[in-house]
């Protein structure tokens, strides 16, 4: 049974989500504030967090950034559930480290589908073999990425994206293809999501001078090249 932490200060919404998740077989804990959410995460790491943006005190956005910045919670699956539905808000939520973003009002069935997709994407890849392209090395069994011996700090979604690129080097992949192969159940995910995570992947690779290996092919998509290029676009 997967443990889900619902961080929501509106009791009616929290209870609605909780009832539906329990009916679907999840174990649910509710936290009405960022402070209480942090206490719950410190006590026991959940399998997934449903996180509201607007919370009393610290915002959900700040909480997501904090979790992504700490080793213990770096790979904690997070779905933001919020009334803020503008594209800029979605981009901010994804940039803060959310794996997915759902605007209120929402369909319970859509929320459950997104949860299943995120949990599926977080499944361990320990049986996969390490892969290397040029000086860049990725090891799924240890969840580590390095370049010429220097470790790369990388988020879970960017790890999967890089893994796909490295196992299919020099090939051009459209955003739709990447959603299908990296995200899996992408019926509710926008193609803009790919751009956000490619940007974050490049940022992670910048300290080891490997960012330019991820190339933008205008009008087509992205590819990983075995040699750094002068431009990334």
Question: Hey, what are 213's tokens?
Answer: 């290996």
- In the chain, residues under CATH classification 1.10.10.10 are 131-224
Contact 197, 175 (CB under 8 A): no
Secondary structure (DSSP) of 160-181 = HHHHHHHHSTT--B-HHHHIII
The residue ranking higher by pLDDT, 183 or 116, is 116
Q: Residue 147 belongs to what H/E stretch?
A: strand 144-147
Whether 184 shows a pLDDT value over 80: the answer reads no
Q: How confident is the model at residue 125 (pLDDT cuts 50, 70, 90)?
A: very low
pLDDT digits over 13-44, tens only?
A: 999 999 999 998 899 999 999 999 999 998 88
- In the chain, residues under CATH classification 3.40.50.2300 are 3-121
Please give the CATH number for the structural domain made up of 131-224: 1.10.10.10
The CATH class given to the 3-121 domain equals alpha beta
pTM attached to this predicted model: 0.56
pLDDT digits over 41-79, tens only?
A: 988 889 899 999 889 888 899 999 999 998 888 889 999
């Amino acid at each position: 049974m997967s443990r889900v932490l619902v961080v929501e200060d509106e009791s009616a919404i929290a209870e609605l989500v909780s009832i539906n998740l329990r009916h679907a077989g999840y174990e649910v804990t509710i936290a009405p504030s960022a402070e209480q959410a942090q206490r719950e995460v410190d006590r026991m790491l959940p399998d997934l967090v449903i996180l509201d943006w607007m919370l009393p005190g610290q915002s959900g956005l700040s909480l997501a950034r904090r979790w992504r910045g700490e080793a213990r919670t770096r790979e904690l699956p997070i779905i933001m559930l919020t009334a803020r539905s503008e594209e800029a808000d979605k981009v901010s939520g994804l940039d803060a480290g959310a794996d997915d973003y759902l605007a209120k009002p929402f369909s319970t069935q859509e929320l459950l589908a997104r949860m299943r997709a995120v949990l599926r994407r977080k499944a361990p890849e320990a049986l996969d073999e390490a892969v290397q392209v040029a000086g860049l090395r990725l090891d799924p069994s240890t969840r580590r990425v390095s370049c010429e011996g220097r470790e790369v700090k990388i988020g879970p979604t960017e790890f999967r994206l890089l893994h796909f690129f490295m196992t299919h080097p020099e090939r051009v992949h459209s955003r739709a293809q990447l959603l299908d192969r990296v995200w899996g159940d992408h019926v509710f995910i926008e193609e803009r999501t790919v751009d956000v995570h490619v940007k974050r992947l490049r940022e992670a690779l910048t300290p080891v001078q490997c960012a330019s290996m991820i190339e933008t092919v205008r009008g087509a998509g992205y590819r990983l090249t075995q040699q750094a290029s002068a431009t990334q676009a």
